[in-house]
Amino acid sequence: MRDLRVSITDRCNFRCLYCLPETEEAANFYRGKFDPLKNPHPQPALTPIVREWKPKSALLTYEEIERVVRVAVGLGIEKVRLTGGEPLLRRGVPELVARLAAIAGIRDLAMTTNGFQFGPQAAALRTAGLKRVSFSCDSLDATNFKRITGRDGLSAVLAAIPQAKALGFAPVKVNAVVIRGLNDHELEALAEFARAQDISFRFIEFMPLDSGHAWLRDLVIPSREILARLQARFDLRPVVSENKSETAKRWTFADGRGEIGIIAPVTEAFCGHCNRLRLTADGKIRTCLFSLHEHDLKPLLRGTASDADLAARLREIVLGKEDRHHIGEAGFQQPERTMSCIGG
Ligand code: SAM
Ligand code: SF4
């Protein structure tokens, strides 16, 4: 295990259809009841999904997160990524970044964010020691962006990308979840954006981690289809990577500007090379995105356990890591918690 993803909040200011949909209709968008593009005011028919967020006392404090990360780094973790929910909703994130950046042995400190509140905090995050940032942007069309995320956020994300580059975050990556009928018509435009902006763009297959439990296999655009579409438009050169744990297969454009990657957990699972662990905002370790069991560290962190006890517990948990996920197999059970709680 080399990669630890730390979710620092379960809350989010977006309501992405594939993660935390705002209404029952948005969760079931593919049934055709939800289409603000055709009818921008369907409000009376919408049924809000009421959410309960974890109380602050249930979330790990920055001191507790720092302790878990320090112990995990002592066991071999090298890369740490802050995520959520929306990590930038938590107060004082640069302070946490500075604490983590000071841990000897961390080679890479990154964040995944929807970018909406990145602007005002960007410089402080960089100064505190954040090295890389990945933004999420599923559409370049403001209306479709709002349809997918529930918010008018495209211009903020588009402003955050050059800002991150100018501040020296490198590489700047952008992720898009590709969903049939929702944003697959934008594949080529998103790839062209990666080339024009000279950034890394990652296309991610839709996974059954949505709070609406509405995932359907038919909504997943398989990676080979994404690739065929992009190859038909662009002259792409495969990037050969030595790193077997890399989740994305990557290609550069012939003119050397920008890069695309495809992450295919559904149709080309990479479980055998997985080197990731996840720490949820409420202190649970998950050994797989699709784990049905979590391991609560809070009793150790808030009790009398020493760092050695914590390390022993982490070792024990990792030894029980699942061999692989079972998406698409009979009896597959979607985990109770959604991507926004697990930390993508
Ligand atoms: N809020 C931040 C953001 O959106 O970048 C960080 C957390 S979000 C859960 C992390 C990543 O998970 C995002 O890139 C998002 O697109 C992805 N994600 C969320 N739900 C997903 C799903 N059902 N399938 C595939 N990717 C998903
Ligand atoms: Fe929020 Fe990120 Fe989930 Fe969208 S994908 S709802 S931005 S946590």
Does the pLDDT of residue 43 top 70, yes or no? no
Q: What is the pLDDT of residue 213?
A: 86
Q: Are 278 and 291 in contact (CB under 8 A)?
A: no
Given a cut of 60, whether residue 98 has pLDDT beyond it is yes
Residue in 7, 17, 30, 112 to alter for ligand 1 test, most ligand atoms within 8 A of Cβ: 112
Beta bridge partners of 109: 80
Q: 72 burial class (0-12, 13-18, 19+ CB within 10 angstroms)?
A: buried
Dump pLDDT digits (tens) for 297-326.
Answer: 999 999 999 999 999 999 999 998 888 888
Cβ distance 119 to 155 under 8 Å?
no
* Average pLDDT of the chain to the nearest whole number: 92
Q: Residue type at 334?
A: Q
30 pLDDT exceeds 80?
no
Per-residue confidence (pLDDT) for residue 156, from 0 to 100: 98
- Residues in contact with ligand 2 by the CB-under-6-Å rule are 12, 14-16, 19-20, 84-86, 114, 136, 149, 339-340
Confidence of residue 39 (pLDDT cuts 50, 70, 90): low
Supply the pLDDT for residue 33: 52
Task: Specify the pLDDT at position 247.
Answer: 85
pLDDT at 322: 83
What is the tens place of the pLDDT at every residue in 226-277? 999 999 999 999 999 888 778 889 999 999 999 999 999 899 888 888 899 9
Task: Read off the pLDDT of each residue in 150-175 and give the average, rounded to a whole number.
Answer: 97
Name the band, by pLDDT with cuts 50, 70 and 90, for residue 38: low
CA of 84, closest atom in ligand 2: 8
- pLDDT at position 261 is 97
Q: Which of 64, 120, 116 is CA-nearest to residue 85?
A: 116
pLDDT band at 278 (very low <50, low <70, confident <90, very high): very high
Q: Which residues contact 175 (CB under 8 A, 6 or more apart)?
A: 112, 134, 135, 136, 137, 201, 202, 204
The reply to whether ligand 1 has any atom less than 6 angstroms from the CB of 176 is no
pLDDT at position 34 = 58
Which of 130-139, 175-184, 332-341 shows the lowest per-residue confidence on average (mean pLDDT)?
Answer: 332-341
Domain containing 10: what range?
A: 3-342
Q: List the Cα angle 313/333/12 in 5-degree steps.
A: 75
| Percentage, residues of the chain above pLDDT 90 | 76
DSSP 8-state code for residue 49 = P
- Determine if ligand 1 sits within 6 Å of the CB of residue 223: no
Q: How many distinct structural domains can be found in the chain?
A: 1
Q: What is the pLDDT of residues 185-208, one digit of tens each?
A: 999 999 999 999 999 999 999 999
Q: Is the peptide bond prior to 171 cis by the omega test (within 30 degrees of 0)?
A: yes
pLDDT at position 36 is 52
Higher pLDDT pick, 221 / 242: 221
Instruction: Name the token pair of 28.
Output: 């079931």
Q: For position 132, which CATH number holds?
A: 3.20.20.70
- Asked if residue 177 has its Cβ within 6 Å of ligand 1, the reply is yes
Atom of ligand 1 nearest to the CA of 215: 23
